[in-house]
Structure 1
């Protein structure tokens, strides 16, 4: 209380962090993204599985992050990014349809 009501200014800190975060490589990001879903149990009936659950989940999450707002947006995102997605997803029967995203 001996300082009264005088404003107290903090000492300025360095504008640059001492250890800035290092960018992650694209290969590491792609591998880790799809590997998160390897252990998710698939409740679907075997005869109805045309697409891997991992592929469906990854496309759904990426399209949502990109601003997608529904099943059709998930399919459209997958179609528009198919060449990139094929680098780290299996996609044995191509991009799942909007109906597949809805059912899963």
Structure 2
């Protein structure tokens, strides 16, 4: 669907969530959302989704960068999205104050 009409954000959302949530292919999902940003640069959804994925991957400084880009790029964020952004921001802020040895790193054995 996104190949036919790349401005359909709902199609991007469905595909991105399948890639990340159902298949666990986080790096592919990050690329998916980056392509979405290229087609609909005014949308906050891809930035929020990238932030969530980076947070799940334990890449907190990159996640904070994405959150900052929401404000820098002056993207319009809806009320429901703002609640999610607030939760993500709190999680990333908390991780920033912790010792990085305490962070969950699923790619490491015995962590």
TM-score (norm 1): 0.33
Structure showing greater radius of gyration is 1
Question: Relative CO higher for 1 or 2, CA cutoff 8 Å, sep ≥ 6?
Answer: 1
TM-score (norm 2): 0.31
More helix, by proportion? 2
